Amino acid sequence: MLDKLRKINIVAKVMIFIVSILVFGGVGYIVYVNSAEPKDLVTKNKNSVQEVSMDLTYDGYSPSTINIKKSVPVRWKINAKQISGCTREIMIESLGIKKELQMGENIIEFTAPDNVGELEFSCGMKMVWGKFVISEDGASSNQPEPVKTLASARPDSSCNGSCGSPSCGASKGGGCGCGRH
């Protein structure tokens, strides 16, 4: 009887282990799959406003590329989950929009420009970047978003791909523009 209970106990532990791997591994897989390609995140409400959502964490903006339709009002929901120094503020410099963010949901409303192209946004110190891709229909081109690396730091940054090095503005208490600090 005791041997039978031990076998049942071992089988139960193995099953719990397998289920844990499937559940937690599955969550990781879902997160990976959902972040691998940019999605069309635009929804329209009854007032013909494009509603888009984005999260802000210590890793930056997610998604950092959002597709919108030209000439249509936008209601941009920013869910600030984590805020650090310069990400306390977000701006679309070309539209003259600047907003201090609070933890939780923040809303910015504007009308998408009439031209097709890109509309960049950034933190207040221009270290963390994202963009709206403006098109005729608001749909994505299904091109995967480029992977952000130190080598793809903005050209006007001072880190030169050496984040934290003596040439990096972040090492001097400021920001380098690479989006990592």
Percent of the chain with pLDDT over 70: 58
Q: Are residues 5 and 94 in the same domain?
A: no
Q: Are residues 99 and 168 in the same domain?
A: no
Q: Are residues 108 and 177 in the same domain?
A: no
Q: Are residues 103 and 80 in the same domain?
A: yes
In this prediction the pTM is 0.58
Q: Are residues 165 and 107 in the same domain?
A: no
| Enclosing domain of residue 9 | 1-36
Q: Are residues 162 and 111 in the same domain?
A: no
* Cα distance between residue 78 and residue 31, in whole Å: 19
Residues 6+ apart with CB under 8 A from 126: 154, 156, 175, 177
pLDDT digit string (tens) for the chain, length 181 residues: 667 767 787 877 777 767 666 555 544 333 333 333 444 455 555 558 999 999 999 999 999 999 999 999 999 999 999 999 989 999 999 999 999 999 999 999 999 999 999 999 999 999 999 999 999 988 865 544 443 433 334 545 444 444 444 444 444 444 555 544 4
Dihedral of CA 63/66/56/120: which sign? Answer: positive
Q: Are residues 32 and 47 in the same domain?
A: no
Q: Are residues 105 and 154 in the same domain?
A: no
Q: Are residues 134 and 154 in the same domain?
A: no
* Cα distance between residue 27 and residue 125, in whole Å: 34
